[in-house]
Amino acid sequence: MAHDPSIPTPHSSQRSAPPGASEARGPGSGTVSGGFTKSEGWLDWYDGPSTPTFRLPDGAVDAHCHVFGPGAQFPYAPERKYTPCDASAAQLFALRDHLGFDRNVIVQATCHGADNRALVDALRRSDGRARGVATVRRDVTPDQLAELHEAGVRGVRFNFVKRLVDRVPTDSLDEIVAKIAPLGWHVVIYFEAEDLPELYDFFSAIPTDVVVDHMGRPDVTKDPDGPEFELFLRFMRENPNVWTKVSCPERLSVTGPRALDGEQHAYADVVPFARRVVEEFPDRVLWGTDWPHPNLKDHMPDDGLLVDFIPQIAPTPELQRKLLVDNPARLYWAEQQQADKEQAEQTPADRTPSADQDRAGARITEGA
């Protein structure tokens, strides 16, 4: 069987291919186009992920992933802190299908700044199977927001990780939130645990739904019952509009084991933190692969084994369905959910005479 060049294939520096898989590298994997040069030490995304052992529920959403470039078509931002390898929409959607997800939420990567063209292109290529989280500046116009909304954007992201931005965006957030709130969008915030005490009141005042990336990056060498993580849990308890992604164990883990070489119990040191959040806030949690895993320093995980991490933190079918299906659908496909609900609730009395006549006419025609 010929290899589909759109599907990522095994990265020879990581591990051998699964039995029967091609060993050829997919086009663009490990490369960057447009005259750009990857950042020194950059780790390319994992080609040829294994097939997950865990079967995802129907309708599962990868609620945190990215596209990079390709640089020749969508140049990387001059103010970027890193230059990645290209990771196209076609490669992301091939991974989606391989892992067993139905839909994606694509988050604007910092290497593209506030230029959302690569994100919008991916959303439009998805045939409605992707939603987006954009980055916008304070001077964004209503027409620009309307165009993003039409493409499938449903939130904006603010990066408070000081090593990734020149300045934290506290001065612009309020102004931008006032512009996006009428669209029903939410705010995604990315910060590290040590910065939450300083930002606690500021974040608590955000009036829209708020999604915290990666549980606020807890220090997993500390006690999950200790004061640092307890502050994050209190933040969620006191603010019912706050959600969180229990994603990126590969970023948080210190002792592993890594999601490589068939490991079925990866990142055990992260499990007590993520599982506690899932069990206490089952209706406000999301999960995503974080493909293509920007800025990892010591290893690149097998995305199939990352999927196999999910049952460790969401151990029951009910929790898995909320985490992977119901919650992301409620947050990102609310209009579709409402339309489906209205259709399901429609009674025969709601049908118009003309609609009944049309159906009757169709039956007569079929019998002719």
- Catalytically annotated residues: 290
Q: Tell me the CB-side half-sphere exposure of residue 325, using CA atoms within 13 A.
A: 12
Residue corresponding to tokens 């919008």: 120
Q: Confirm if 211 and 244 have CB atoms less than 8 A apart.
A: yes
Q: What is the 3-state secondary structure (H, E, C) of the chain?
A: CCCCCCCCCCCCCCCCCCCCCCCCCCCCCCCCCCCCCCCCCCCCCCCCCCCCCCCCCCCCEEEEECCECCCCCCCCCCCCCCCCCCECHHHHHHHHHHHCCCEEEEECCHHHCCCCHHHHHHHHHCCCCEEEEECCCCCCCHHHHHHHHHHCEEEEEEECCCCCCCCCCHHHHHHHHHHHHHHCCEEEEECCHHHHHHHHHHHHCCCCCEEEHHHHCCCCCCCCCCHHHHHHHHHHHHCCCEEEECCCHHHHCCCCCCCCCCCCCCCCCCHHHHHHHHHHCCCCEECCCCCCCCCCCCCCCCHHHHHCCHHHHCCCHHHHHHHHHHHHHHHHCHHHHHHHHHHHHCCHHHCCHHHHHHHHHHHHHHHC
Residue 37 Cα distances to 149, 165, 264, 315, angstroms: 33, 20, 35, 42
> Which is nearest to 249 in space by CA: 281, 287, 285, 292?
287
User: How far apart are the C-alpha atoms of 319 and 325, rounded to whole Å?
Assistant: 10
Residue 241 Cα distances to 93, 205, 212, 232, 238, angstroms: 30, 10, 11, 14, 9
